[in-house]
Amino acid sequence: METAGERVPLLTLHEAHDLLSWLHRVAAECRGHAPEAGRWAKEIAARVPSQE
């Protein structure tokens, strides 16, 4: 979410879950960036409260 050219320093919870979902999809493709996407997905998942 950007306002008047400013960046919000943190992701919203919804944005973090969207990013985590996207990283899981990239990691599942088993292509060039899959290992790095998997690592980032684990890092983010460890820091973001679950959606449940």
Average pLDDT of the segment spanning 16-24: 87
Residue 34, pLDDT score: 85
- What's the whole-model pTM score? 0.63
The residues near 48 (Cβ < 8 Å, ≥ 6 apart) are: 13, 16, 17, 20
**HEC string for the chain:** CEECCEECCCCCHHHHHHHHHHHHHHHHCCCCCHHHHHHHHHHHHHHCCCCC
pLDDT, mean of residues 39-50? 84
Q: Considering the chain, what is the average pLDDT of its residues?
A: 79
CA 9 to chain centre: 15
pLDDT of 1 above 60: no
Q: How confident is the model at residue 43 (pLDDT cuts 50, 70, 90)?
A: confident
Mean pLDDT of 22-45: 84
